[in-house]
Amino acid sequence: MLEEQISKDYVKAMKDRDTLRSSTLSFLRAQMKNVIIEKKVDKLKDEEVIAVIKKQIKQRQDSIAQFELGGRQDLVSKEAAELAILKSYLPEEMSEQELERCVAGAIQEAQAGSMKDMGKVMKIMAEKVKGKADNKLVSELVKKALSQV
């Protein structure tokens, strides 16, 4: 479904002569094709497409950080625009309050008592928030919660 939506949006961007959007989606489609070839499947599931998008987002964020260090504001704004386009295809992320409630539930479920149990809690959290939260934020919240246990 998401793969088809990206293809439709790519065609629309080409027709509208939206060069930034079309080039961003073209590159994304190429990365999705690489995954299709690698996994030897006909179509990607939405979770796999989201994983590709997240990888692209991470690359854009790293590029933005590097360009800011180099003082290349023109490239920073281009990468930021591409980042916004990519983020529009991700499901809405959970709020920090929702994540904190999830973390508390996962700690109880894992019967975690110390930082040693972080792996168990993160495994539960990975299932609960799949694609709906930044893993870095989840990790920070789990550490914070486990340090108070």
Instruction: Note whether 121 and 146 are within 8 A (CB).
Output: yes
Which residues 6+ apart lie within 8 Å of 70 measured at CB?
A: none
Q: Where in the chain is the domain with CATH 1.10.10.410?
A: 96-147
Instruction: Note whether 25 and 10 are within 8 A (CB).
Output: yes
Which residues 6+ apart lie within 8 Å of 140 measured at CB?
A: none
pTM: 0.70
Instruction: Note whether 103 and 125 are within 8 A (CB).
Output: yes
Q: What is the pLDDT of residues 106-131, one digit of tens each?
A: 888 878 777 787 888 888 887 887 76
Instruction: Note whether 127 and 43 are within 8 A (CB).
Output: no
The CATH H-level superfamily of 2-87 is: Uncharacterised protein YqeY/AIM41, N-terminal domain (1.10.1510.10)
The SS3 of residue 34 is helix
Q: Which CATH number fits domain 96-147: 3.40.50.620, 1.10.260.40, 3.30.200.20, 1.10.10.410?
A: 1.10.10.410
Residues in the chain with pLDDT values less than 50: none
